Chain A
Amino acid sequence: MHPIEERNLLLTRRHFFSRAAAGLGTAALASLLASEARAEGGLPGLPHFPPKAQRVIYLFQHGAPSQLDLFDYKPGLEKVRGADLPESVRMGQRLTGMTAYQAKFPTAPSVFRFAQHGESGMWLSELLPYTGKAADHLCLIKTMQTEAINHDPAVTFLQTGFQLAGRPSIGAWIAYGLGSENQDLPAFVVMVSQGTGGSQALADRAWGSGFLPTRYQGVKFRSGADPVLFLSNPEGYSATARRRFLDDLTGLNQIHEQQYQDPEIVTRIAQYEMAFRMQRSVPELTDLSKEPESTFALYGPDARKPGTYAANCILARRLAERGVRFIQLFHRGWDQHSNLPRDIRAQCQQTDQASAALVQDLKQRGLLGDTLIVWGGEFGRTVYSQGTLTAENYGRDHHPRCFGVWLAGGGIKGGVTHGETDEFSYNVVRDPVGVHDMHATILHCLGVDHTRLTYKFQGRHFRLTDVSGRVVREILT
């Protein structure tokens, strides 16, 4: 942001609070918080143009799902089954240390059948029957590319636009730029669920705020007694007692404020009130017991178990209904270096129905039009088998050159398959989409020009898309 705008924002906030401070009771203050939330919500001048999407639900498939077994239909591979990957395809590109020293790189066609879905005839694997039914709402990008070949830098790159740790995550950028629509909930919420197989480590930085103030970081919702850390009062201490505690705290803070005239004190009083409201609003939000049977039928049996991907998808919808700006799920366990057919099937059983249900559910509720859903991992997987290839079994190593991601909802054309890979799903033949392109496109749907959402740090104006990024206009409505 320009320093003068930053200054004006601060002044607005300070003046608001210094006016609000004088002699206000808690109740009156609480009612003022609505305008406070608007006053603090995002940067002046944003969105840059009318947005198609008001919020994003990003379903991050952590560990990197295989595009060859889900999205990128390559019937020709059966003819070259077991043959070494031709050097003309690999062209000396680097491999990970896990397969670089394999004696052979046997081509492994997918064991899964593919079929066409929807009016557009989108090719999808049999592992995704529910996603197939939603095909006409989806835009499948087959040509996502990344620069990273290992999990942590690849996740960091997708989340922050840079492979090295330290920059703000996409959700933090959006919370910073656009603020929140809901005064009782954070602008950026994260939920993590466990997959079936072994999982790669995930780091808090994936939803961190980097050099942005930490108030923009993702707030993790967890399953269990404390959906947000430190949300619950200690055992034996009731909400009534907490209310009294807060009234006394506010009283003492107000006395001090009158003497010291520091607007930060008034802000703190307001933040305690928001904390109190979160103590009511978050458990109400995460309690799925009042959801009708039809919801669980839609999202699948897993949805009844707190902490599962399916349950988190329902929560994502509930957060979207409440105007949370950026909702991100991480589902772990897609890293199938071996026993891929068995393990990816289990992963899909956990995710396919709920992902598609979310699209359908938002559609039914009239929310799909202004909610952007993104589904995808951090890279793709190799066409050659890691380890021994048999008729039924194989593994796949990391592959950054192409992978599949789908988008749906606010601002995105449905029933579109974008981009083309070569016959080995190894290189992009047409319409590559880089990580910065994806970010630029997401921001565009939110009405944000990715080159103009910047923050000055260490003498430089940083942005999510670093020094590149092209809005993929072909897939926009």
Chain B
Amino acid sequence: MLPPPAGAPNNRLGLAKWLVDPDNPLLARVTVNRFWQMYFGTGIVKTVEDFGSQGEWPSHPELLDWLATEFVRTGWDVKAMQKLIVTSATYRQSSAASPELEQRDPENRLLAHGPRFRLPAEMIRDQALFVAGLLYEKIGGPSVKPYQPAGLWKELAMQDMDYVQSQGNDLHRRSLYTFWKRTIAPPMMVNFDAAARETCVVRETPTNTPLQALDLMNDVTFLEAARFLGQRMIREGGANADERLRYGFRLVTARMPTAAEERLLKGDLQYHLDYFAGKADELKAFLSQGEFPCDPALDQRELAAYASVGSLLLNLDETVTKE
């Protein structure tokens, strides 16, 4: 390990000087490795939290060193480093793998194809709100309390400290602003592996569980978003079902559906149009998830059917995955 610089004071200033000493390779390496993890899901050193003798050896040591020295050379320019990574040929590869690659390098540590990993909890919710047109992009201010199943705080708190849900646009702020009670964390965040904020965590372990499926299917947050996504398909998508479905699919996945996918979506839409036919009460209940009303002038059966397709789109593996 690098000794402290000569004459550095024995305090935080000394620590800072030691950290950024040109002879100390660690800070730049650790930092660019974290950026890399953000984009590729796995760091060049997989154990991003541990560069010690117990940590894992880098998959590409020369690359790590080059990025680290570039970072220092450009004056620790964070923005330039993001640009360097995301415009690289490696990052711009498709995430699709061939069966052969999957056999030879199942973890894709050698980066023969682009990264593919599940989005963090916050992004899953923010993305759903965004494609629904509900995201309220106000910056700053106190935390907000979006939808949460009733009683969660009350069941565990000392007195009657219950969760008082926010109103209006505050229901749709970015998840960054969600109020976080550490002893009873927001369940959707926990379901999707957000760090519990009780210890320092720089690497979340993404899991794939049935509780996530239930959350995306039945959490009022996603049902309301699905309803508004359905409304967008009807209002903005075009005159016929084909165009509307294509529009909705594209909003969520940022690509056009294939013919096979279109067939499935159309079948799903038709099923739900039939399902809701003559079911006035079910229709009303299904469309009253969440506090924001949709346009009452729209054909409500059609809205419910498109909302179901919206929910289907929000549940796609591709939707909750970065690729």
Which residues of chain A have a CB within 8 Å of any CB of chain B? 3, 10-11, 14, 18, 165-166, 192, 194, 198-205, 208, 210-215, 217, 219, 222, 226, 228-238, 241-242, 244-245, 248-249, 251-253, 255-257, 259-265, 267-269, 271-272, 274-275, 278-279, 456, 458-460
Contacts and interface: CB of A to CB of B under 8 A. Distances in A.
Nearest to A224: B151
Given A165-B198, A166-B198, A248-B312, A459 B52 contact: yes
23 contacts: A166-B199, A203-B156, A203-B183, A211-B201, A222-B155, A230-B149, A230-B211, A231-B214, A234-B285, A234-B289, A236-B283, A236-B286, A236-B287, A242-B217, A252-B261, A260-B95, A260-B97, A267-B208, A274-B210, A274-B213, A275-B211, A459-B52, A459-B55
A18 B101 CA distance: 12
B55 A230 contact: no
Interface stretch (B64-72, B73-81, B184-192): B184-192
3 closest Cβ pairs, A-B complex:
A236-B282, A203-B183, A166-B199
B179 interface: no
Contacts of B212: 271
A274 B264 CA distance: 22
Contact of B218 (A204, A234, A259, A261): A234
Which range holds the interface residue count of chain B? Answer: 35 or more
Nearest to B218: A230
Contacts of B157: 201
B50 A192 contact: no
> Which of A11, A208, A238, A241 has most chain B Cβ within 10 Å?
A241
Contact of A203 (B50, B184, B209): B184
B316 A236 contact: no
Interface string B297-323: 000000000001001100111100101
A459 B156 contact: no
> Which of B98, B149, B287 has most chain A Cβ within 10 Å?
B149
A473 B237 CA distance: 70
Contacts of A210: 196, 198-199
A278 B213 CA distance: 11
A263 B102 CA distance: 9
A237 B282 contact: yes
B155 A192 contact: yes
Contact of B156 (A204, A226, A271): A204
Contacts of A279: 214
A225 B310 CA distance: 25
A255 B260 contact: yes
B122 interface: no
A244 B271 CA distance: 8
Given A229-B149, A233-B218, A238-B275, 17 more contacts: A18-B102, A165-B182, A166-B196, A201-B157, A204-B156, A210-B198, A229-B187, A235-B286, A236-B281, A237-B308, A241-B308, A244-B275, A253-B316, A256-B316, A264-B317, A271-B213, A274-B210
Given A219-B211, A244-B268, A249 B98 contact: no
B106 A255 contact: no
B126 interface: no
A230 B219 contact: yes
B54 interface: yes
Interface string B73-115: 0000000000000000000000111110110001100000000
A275 B187 contact: no
Contacts of A232: 218
> Which of B96, B219, B281 has most chain A Cβ within 10 Å?
B96
A235 B283 CA distance: 9
B170 interface: no
Contacts of B17: none
B207 A248 contact: no
Contacts of A257: 317
Given A204-B190, A234-B285, A252 B264 contact: yes
A214 B205 contact: yes
Given A236-B286, A245-B311, A274-B210, A192 B218 contact: no
Contacts of A202: 156, 183
B267 interface: yes
B228 to A, nearest CB: 15
> Which of A238, A241, A265, A268 has most chain B Cβ within 10 Å?
A268
Nearest to A241: B275
Contacts of B201: 211
Interface string B47-60: 10110101110000
B261 A255 contact: yes
Given A230-B211, A261-B101, A275-B213, A251 B218 contact: no
Contacts of B258: 255
> Which of B157, B185, B199 has most chain A Cβ within 10 Å?
B199
B125 to A, nearest CB: 13
A259 B96 contact: yes
Contact of A272 (B155, B185, B213, B219): B213
Given A14-B106, A204-B156, A459-B55, A248 B209 contact: no
A228 B211 contact: yes
B223 interface: yes
Nearest to B280: A236
B98 A261 contact: yes
A297 to B, nearest CB: 29
Contacts of A18: 99, 102
B99 A215 contact: no
A381 B321 CA distance: 52
B158 interface: yes
Contacts of A267: 208
A65 to B, nearest CB: 18
Contacts of B260: 255
Contact of B285 (A11, A211, A235): A235
B196 A208 contact: yes
Given A219-B211, A241-B275, A261 B156 contact: no
A165 B184 CA distance: 13
Interface in B153-178: 155-159
B54 A459 contact: yes
B291 to A, nearest CB: 14
A211 B153 CA distance: 23
Contacts of A213: 193, 205, 207
Interface in B234-260: 258, 260
Contacts of B317: 253, 256-257, 264-265, 268-269
B111 to A, nearest CB: 15
A271 B50 CA distance: 32
